[in-house]
Amino acid sequence: MIDFEKAGGLVPAVAQDADTGVVLMLAWMNREAWEETVRTGRAVYYSRSRAKLWRKGEESGNVQHVREVFVDCDADTILLKVEQVGGAACHEGFQSCFFRKVAGGEVTVVGERLFDPREVYKKV
């Protein structure tokens, strides 16, 4: 169903807000993350930096309830339509990780910060 072998065991997964259509984030899944996501209905990714499963929201509480799952034509990318608990998917406190717009060589913050990362993540 998913071609995990093509790129060394990980495929990109895009999370989109099921109600608004906002693209919230892109993360990675290995087979284990994929199977747990499908089985539990909660988004589980694989953290490349921590080299382990990342149950989205396990620290912040901002879990993603998965409403619909799609695979692309090449079976190497996943699209999740999710309900984002807490409203913010990004660890920096924004609704979407794509809160910076690039135009004319400039980068501008366009999103609104919904929470203060220092209050949510003890390490930050």
- The answer to the question of residue 97 lying near its own copies (CB under 8 A) is yes
Interface with its own copies: number of residues (CB under 8 A): 33
**The only residue of 45, 46, 54, 94 in contact with its own copies, by rule CB under 8 A:** 94
Which pairing describes strands 78-84 and 11-17: parallel, antiparallel, or unpaired?
Answer: parallel
Q: 61, exposed or middle or buried, with CB in 10 Å at 0-12, 13-18, 19+?
A: exposed
Our CA dihedral for 80, 4, 99, 22, rounded to 10 degrees, sits at -20
- The answer to the question of residue 20 lying near its own copies (CB under 8 A) is yes
Contact status, residue 111 vs residue 91, Cβ threshold 8 Å: no
**The only residue of 3, 26, 112, 118 in contact with its own copies, by rule CB under 8 A:** 26
Residues 19, 23: Cα–Cα separation, whole Å = 11
Tell me which DSSP letter residue 67 carries: E
- The answer to the question of residue 83 lying near its own copies (CB under 8 A) is no
CB of 98 to its own copies, least distance (A): 4
- The answer to the question of residue 21 lying near its own copies (CB under 8 A) is yes
Contact positions vs its own copies (CB under 8 A)? 1, 12, 14, 16, 20-23, 25-26, 38, 68-74, 77, 79, 90-92, 94, 97-103, 107, 110
